[in-house]
Amino acid sequence: MIKAEHISKNIQVGDKTEHILTDISFELKQNTITAIVGKSGCGKSTLLSILSGIDKPSEGKVYLKKKDYYSLERKEQEKFRNENIGILFQNYHLIPELTCEENIRMPLVFSDKKLESGRVKKMMKSVGLEKQRRLYPKQMSGGEQQRTAIVRALINKPSILYADEPTGALDSETGNSVIRFLVKCAHDQGLTVLLVTHDMGIANQCDEIIRMENGRIVKAK
């Protein structure tokens, strides 16, 4: 489902070349949830950005559902990303002028996918957001905003979900409930989830753990 082949990322800082990622290779199967762990600055979020189609690698290839993603034309990339990839950002990135329900519906505006009637309400109910549907982000708690962001990332039925520190701003109980929900989605809905976390308690609930140091994979479980 997700395959990284010899991914490297370099940036030029003055006369020096900074090596952010070096020769990253791994493969993730469908119906699994995997955590990337490591100290701040080890390259976790950069790797997630490359795998999700946001940032192009300096070297190497990314295969998503057997497609060489960065060899696709720009419009093909956009179409593929819209139909197959969900992204859960660390800071939610909800649009403040839109209600909870309107934020969730945003990905549907840019999609040609035919989804069953009532999916939005069903998904909101599954995470306890029925009463928040008309609230704006500033009127919701951190946990409610996070659940809104999760439903928005999943509303288009992606086959791949990337999550950058999905529980970083949440208390322990709420964070664990978020991970349990993502694990259930991975196992029940054929979703492949790749998340970045500093919390080993969260990582240990995942099917696989990839540990990074200094832009390299040092251990995978």
CB atoms within 10 A of CB 117: 7
Q: Give the C-alpha distances (Å, rounded to integers) separating 8 from 22, 28, 33, 51, 82.
A: 4, 18, 23, 12, 25
Does residue 147 lie in a domain region? no
Which pLDDT score is estimated for 135? 97
Does residue 136 lie in a domain region? no
**Residue in the block written with tokens 């034309």:** 73
Which pLDDT score is estimated for 217? 95
Q: State how far the Cα of 43 lies from the Cα of 25, in Å rounded to an integer.
A: 14
Which pLDDT score is estimated for 50? 97
Residues 64, 50, 169, 149: what is their CA dihedral angle, to the nearest 10 degrees? -50
For 73, phi then psi, to 5°, come to -65, 160
Does residue 111 lie in a domain region? no
Contact between 164 and 170 (Cβ < 8 Å): no
Does residue 110 lie in a domain region? no
pLDDT, tens digit (0-9, with 9 covering 90-100), for 204-216 = 999 999 999 999 9
pTM score, whole prediction: 0.88
Q: State how far the Cα of 69 lies from the Cα of 61, in Å rounded to an integer.
A: 8
Does residue 103 lie in a domain region? no
**CATH assignment at residue 197:** 3.40.50.300
Structure tokens at 146: 């996070």
Pairing of strands 192-196, 160-164: parallel
- The structural domain count of the chain equals 1
Which structural domain range is residue 196 located in? 2-95+157-220
Which pLDDT score is estimated for 6? 97
Does residue 199 lie in a domain region? yes
Instruction: Mark the ranges of the chain whose per-residue pLDDT is less than 50.
Output: none
What value, to the nearest 5°, has the Cα angle with vertex 193 and ends 190 and 195? 170
Contact between 101 and 134 (Cβ < 8 Å): yes
Which pLDDT score is estimated for 220? 66
